[in-house]
């Protein structure tokens, strides 16, 4: 949520189109030229970039190549008013992921941005020696798949994301089960026990610590 888009577009009219199309859904930064763009890009990486090929100070193709040299994976969408389809081919060859001809519909734009973000979204998160692979609903310990069941995955990824903080049983019920805490049951304990076994099998001992009377925490 709240992805950051960089847009390189010199036409103010088109800039407004972008703004009205996206402002409700994404954070936008619009640059009129390549120089401004790269200044910002050096400080902060966006989640997706839209490039108009025809720019005043810089060749759009050059921008694409330069982006790709610094980052292999940020999705780039090429936009061009050229009806000549070859310009798109050139853009794609330079490393763009998708293309769109002006004039484009707002719907199409949103769809392509969404698709681009989905494709590339960084769905792998590191927590110490653990990797949460949201793409495949897996958690790895030192590159070894823990082979968790769906419930275990949901439970442990939540615990990992808590960064060492102690998590109450009530909170776990609410976050993982979506329920209110109903009362006495050993359900959580069971899953914790199972997790501990799988962690131990993978060589990770003492990862989940019980906080008596409160809940559990994961050593960060």
Quick one: which of 4, 81, 92, 140 contacts its own copies (CB under 8 A)? 92
User: Binding its own copies by CB under 8 A: which of 57, 85, 189, 219?
Assistant: 85
128 contact choice in its own copies, DNA, none (CB below 5 to 8 Å, kind-dependent): none
* CA–CA–CA angle 54, 55, 61 (5° rounding): 65
Rule CB under 8 A: say whether 115 interacts with its own copies.
yes
* Contact between 149 and 165 (Cβ < 8 Å): no
| In the complex, minimum distance from the CB of residue 114 to its own copies, in angstroms, rounded to a whole number | 6
- What is the footprint of DNA within residues 137-196 (CB under 7 A)? 149-152, 169, 177, 184-187, 189-193, 196
Question: Please, which contacts does 102-109 make with residues 24 or more away whose CB atoms are closer than 8 Å?
Answer: 102/14, 104/79, 106/17, 106/20, 106/21, 109/18, 109/21
26 binds its own copies (CB under 8 A): no
**x-or-dash pattern for its own copies, window 143-182, by CB under 8 A?**
------xx------------xxxx----------------
Are 91 and 64 in contact by the 8 Å Cβ rule? The answer is: yes
Q: Is beta strand 76-80 parallel, antiparallel or unpaired with respect to 98-101?
A: parallel
């Amino acid at each position: 949520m709240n992805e950051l888009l960089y847009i390189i577009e010199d036409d103010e009219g088109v800039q407004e189109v972008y703004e009205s199309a996206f402002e409700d859904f994404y954070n936008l930064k619009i640059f009129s030229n390549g120089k401004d763009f790269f200044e910002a890009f050096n400080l902060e990486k966006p989640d997706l970039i839209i490039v108009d090929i025809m720019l005043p100070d810089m060749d759009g193709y050059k921008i694409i190549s330069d982006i790709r040299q610094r980052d292999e994976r940020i999705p780039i969408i090429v936009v061009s008013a050229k009806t000549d389809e070859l310009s798109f081919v050139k853009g794609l060859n330079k490393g763009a992921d998708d293309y769109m001809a002006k004039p484009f519909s707002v719907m199409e734009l949103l769809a392509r941005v969404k698709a681009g973000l989905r494709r590339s979204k960084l769905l792998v998160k590191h927590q110490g020696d653990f990797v949460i692979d949201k793409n495949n609903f897996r958690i790895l310990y030192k590159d070894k798949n823990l082979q968790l069941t769906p419930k275990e995955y949901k439970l442990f990824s939540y615990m990992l994301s808590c960064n060492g903080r102690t998590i109450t049983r009530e909170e776990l019920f609410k976050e993982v089960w979506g329920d209110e805490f109903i009362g006495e049951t050993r359900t959580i304990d069971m899953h914790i026990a199972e997790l501990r076994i799988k962690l131990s099998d993978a060589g990770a001992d003492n990862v989940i610590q019980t906080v008596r009377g409160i809940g559990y925490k994961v050593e960060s």
